[in-house]
Homo-oligomer: A and B are copies of this chain.
Amino acid sequence: MQVETPAATKFFADRLAEAVERKRSQLVVGLDPRLDLLPVELRGDAHVARSAAADAVARFCCGIIDAVAPHTVAVKPQLAFFEALGADGLRAFEETCEYAHAAGLLVLADAKRGDIGSTARAYAAAYLEGEKPVADAITVNPYLGRDSLEPFFGACRRQGGGVFCLVKTSNEGGGDVQDVRLSDGGVLWQHVARLVAEWGEDLVGEHGLSSVGAVVGATHPRAVGEARRLLPRSILLLPGVARAFTSGPASALVAASRSVIYGFRQSGEDWRTGASGQAARLKSEIWAASGW
């Protein structure tokens, strides 16, 4: 009797790098489905029942996926908007992820999770493990330190998952904690960047990139350059274009959410046409700006 050996697990960073090069795109479309912003034709009874709202959200996300799939390497569903609809919302999240996978896209679950011990293991299991993981990568929070993220790194090693760790965020209050001055003269987020680089060292794939990436607010162009220097192997997930591609074409991803998925609200076009057009335009702009 022969024992079937599973194909060697490919690192997330390599899967992503191959997708970026094949599609010539570093665009990630963020799926932030807010009921009040959905196309009117989809809303139906969404204001009455949660299940109808969740159906509308799933239809919207799947329609957007169809529209942007040729132009994007990944979608980034934001868990909060699905959780706001409870269990029905989580079902819409699962449908959305499955649909994105069927469309050949990677799925980055924007969850910003972080907890300890068996709780962290449960989060890793929820998103990155099992026979068919819901997502390919997940965003996480570094405040609880290395052992809180170890279960995610384990999923990266064993199942080819990826992690994007919050390092420097673009919101107004981001500095409250991230910009605190340290005794070494630097600031906290630089310390966190060094930790993330260290945590990702043994997850560097064939393309020279690690499956442990970093979320960096590109509204701070100097911070992006500094993060690139501190995190030479990490894939940076940025909310806008910046000089972050010096470690290769797949060394940064640019996430765009509202400008793509709610583009129709400005242009008056059909929502799918609007999303597709915006994604195509952004993809080209980013590729050109990346210098590859």
Of A5-13, A16-24, A167-175, A280-288, the stretch lying at the interface with chain B is A167-175
Given the complex of chains A and B, what is the CA–CA distance between A115 and B188 in angstroms? 18
Given the complex of chains A and B, what is the CA–CA distance between A115 and B147 in angstroms? 21
How many subunits of this chain does the assembly comprise? 2
List residues of A (93-125) whose CB comes within 8 Å of B's CBs.
93-94, 110, 112-120, 122-123, 125
Given the complex of chains A and B, what is the CA–CA distance between A196 and B169 in angstroms? 19
Q: Is the CB of A192 closer than 8 A to any CB of chain B?
A: yes
Residues of B within 8 A of A120 (CB): 80
Given the complex of chains A and B, what is the CA–CA distance between A238 and B86 in angstroms? 28
Does the CB pair B174–A78 fall under 8 Å?
A: no
How many chain A residues sit at the interface, stated as a range, is 35 or more
Least Cβ–Cβ distance between A170 and chain B, in angstroms: 8
Residues of B within 8 A of A116 (CB): 169-171, 174
Given the complex of chains A and B, what is the CA–CA distance between A118 and B84 in angstroms? 12
Does the CB pair B119–A78 fall under 8 Å?
A: yes
Least Cβ–Cβ distance between A132 and chain B, in angstroms: 12
Does the CB pair A141–B114 fall under 8 Å?
A: yes
Does the CB pair A145–B87 fall under 8 Å?
A: no
Least Cβ–Cβ distance between A63 and chain B, in angstroms: 20
Q: Is the CB of A289 closer than 8 A to any CB of chain B?
A: no
Given the complex of chains A and B, what is the CA–CA distance between A171 and B145 in angstroms? 8
A183 CB contact (under 8 Å) in B125, B175, B183: B183
A177 CB contact (under 8 Å) in B87, B112, B118, B192: B192
Residues of B within 8 A of A191 (CB): 177, 180
Q: Is the CB of A34 closer than 8 A to any CB of chain B?
A: yes
Does the CB pair A173–B147 fall under 8 Å?
A: yes
Which B-chain residue is minimally distant from A167 (CB atoms)?
Answer: B143
Does the CB pair B94–A87 fall under 8 Å?
A: yes
Q: Is the CB of A142 closer than 8 A to any CB of chain B?
A: yes
12 contacts between A and B (CB under 8 A): A80-B115, A80-B120, A83-B122, A87-B87, A112-B141, A145-B171, A145-B172, A145-B174, A147-B173, A176-B195, A177-B188, A182-B183
Please give 9 more A-B residue pairs, beta carbons under 8 A apart, in addition to A143-B177, A144-B173, A188-B188.
Answer: A34-B122, A78-B115, A90-B90, A112-B115, A145-B177, A148-B169, A148-B173, A148-B174, A177-B191
